[in-house]
Amino acid sequence: MEARTAAVGTLVSVLEALEEDTWQQVRIEQRVIIRVAPLALNREAIAPMSLPLAETVVPLSSSMTVRVRERRAANCMPAAGIAAVQPVTDGRLLFHMRDRRMIAARLEKACSARDFYLGFYMSKTSDGQLCIKRDQIHSRAGTTCALKEVREFVPVEP
């Protein structure tokens, strides 16, 4: 009986000690960041592209290029589908998708594609998409930009 009384007394003293403490609410949040790596190219392989041309030559490596035609693309692309990124000199990034498509994204006016030569980071969204005028990408150098327009590059038969 004394052991039980001692245990109750200990429990009461613990509860009294807890009453004196200030309790605060703790909230744990999880944030997922996706990193997109740059395409492994030589600096000489990054050639300028102009937007209004019907056909454009895209460098794939230092010795290989492909002739492409631009067409409209959806406003969103799956973030997990982006395999690599390549900066282009006219303020656009070229996304190499895992399904072998190439999508060019025009950056906001104040942004430079050259800031993204080391790739970029983006926050994972609830729908898993990277959308123009909604999501932002962050260069490893600290630049934050939104995508303004996207176009798909379709290979042209020689």
Q: What is the pLDDT of residue 122?
A: 92
Does a structural domain hold residue 107?
yes
Does a structural domain hold residue 50?
yes
Instruction: Identify the domain containing residue 35 by its residue range.
Output: 29-155
Q: Is the pLDDT of residue 137 over 90?
A: yes
Give me the mean pLDDT over the 23-46 stretch.
69
pLDDT in tens, 36-59: 888 875 443 344 444 334 456 665
Does a structural domain hold residue 9?
no
Does a structural domain hold residue 3?
no
Does a structural domain hold residue 135?
yes
0.85 cut: is pTM over it? no
Contacts of 40-44 spanning 24+ positions with Cβ under 8 A: 40/84, 41/86
Does a structural domain hold residue 115?
yes
Mean pLDDT (the chain) is 79
The structural domain count of the chain equals: 1
Does a structural domain hold residue 59?
yes
Q: Is the pLDDT of residue 143 over 70?
A: yes
Does a structural domain hold residue 134?
yes
pLDDT in tens, 74-125: 999 999 999 999 888 778 999 999 998 999 999 998 899 889 989 999 998 8
Give me the mean pLDDT over the 33-37 stretch.
83
